């Protein structure tokens, strides 16, 4: 089998290329290198046939490595390093797999992008910290009456992330309802691009964050049908009618820094409040 064809048919996944490279290197390398291309005999009128494969035949001199970090002269390895990120390819080879593979990243519960520079989720734990670092966050906003865990406070402090805490009680019938003025203050911080990228979260990423995002969608002129559909996709079976009622009647004034609004929200939309 021709090594170039083998590489070309593997696909775009870098791990597939590595598996092919490892497999070819482990199955009789002399056989792969012992094939001799058909040649034209200039002293006769007929072509010579392909010479038979032999473990005792002298393999042709492999090409020199085109990249200084290539650990092998195997043509497939060379192609792997040439056509893809060399550092990534090298890190996935067997001799380096244990110490150079990228660490696993796990997003928090109910994580999603709300708009450019704004994310939502449930309460992040230690397993989620590497993922949060990849977002290059400037701010994390916690909208819950509970205290913030020490691990999260330490994580924000060590990585220069501003931590904002709004002690918002959830909507629960018949007498408990989110304070509209507190929600308006939280929205003002979310809409200030100086806080972006920002992650807003509660405990499960369902109800309080759902209300905040729903009020934000009203500013973006979404229909109530679309707003409630998004809310229900995150709340699942635990839909709160009180949350949807809160979103529908929310009309508190929002004191935003007008010179620092995100591009996806126009002053005209905000002036319509």
CA–CA dist 245, 251 (Å, integer): 12
Element (H, E) at 224: helix 224-235
Instruction: For residue 235, give every residue at least 6 positions away whose Cβ sits within 8 Å of its Cβ, in sequence order, or none.
Output: 206, 207, 210, 243
> Which of these is catalytic: 70, 202, 211, 215?
202
Burial class (CB in 10 A: 0-12, 13-18, 19+), 149: middle
202 is catalytic: yes
123: tokens are 């309460």
Give the length of the chain: 273
| Contacting residues for 80 by C-beta, under 8 A, at least 6 apart | 7, 17, 18, 21, 89
CA quadruple 215, 216, 220, 226: dihedral positive or negative?
Answer: negative
Catalytic residues: 202
């Amino acid at each position: 089998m021709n090594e170039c064809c083998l590489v070309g048919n593997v696909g775009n996944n870098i791990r597939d290329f590595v598996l092919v490279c490892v497999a070819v290197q482990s199955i009789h390398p002399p056989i792969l290198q012992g094939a001799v291309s058909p040649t034209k005999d200039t002293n006769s009128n007929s072509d010579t046939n392909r010479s038979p494969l032999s473990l005792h035949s002298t393999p042709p001199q492999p090409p020199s490595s085109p990249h200084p970090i290539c650990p092998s002269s195997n043509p497939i390895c060379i192609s792997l390093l040439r056509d893809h990120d060399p550092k990534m390819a090298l890190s996935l080879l067997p001799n380096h797999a244990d110490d150079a593979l990228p660490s696993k990243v796990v997003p928090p519960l109910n994580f999603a992008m709300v708009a450019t520079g704004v994310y939502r989720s449930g309460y992040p734990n230690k397993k989620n910290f590497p993922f949060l670092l990849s977002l290059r966050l400037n701010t994390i906003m916690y909208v819950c009456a509970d205290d913030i865990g020490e691990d999260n406070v330490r994580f924000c402090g060590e990585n220069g992330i501003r931590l904002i805490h709004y002690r918002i009680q959830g909507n629960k019938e018949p007498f408990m309802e989110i304070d509209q003025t507190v929600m308006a203050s939280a929205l003002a911080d979310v809409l200030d691009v100086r806080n972006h990228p920002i992650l807003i979260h509660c405990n499960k990423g369902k109800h309080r964050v759902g209300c905040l995002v729903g009020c934000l969608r009203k500013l973006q002129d979404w229909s109530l049908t679309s707003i409630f559909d998004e809310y229900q996709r995150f709340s699942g079976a635990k839909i709160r009618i009180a949350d949807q009622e809160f979103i529908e009647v929310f009309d508190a004034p929002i004191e935003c820094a007008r010179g620092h609004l995100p591009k996806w929200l126009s002053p005209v939309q905000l002036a319509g409040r």
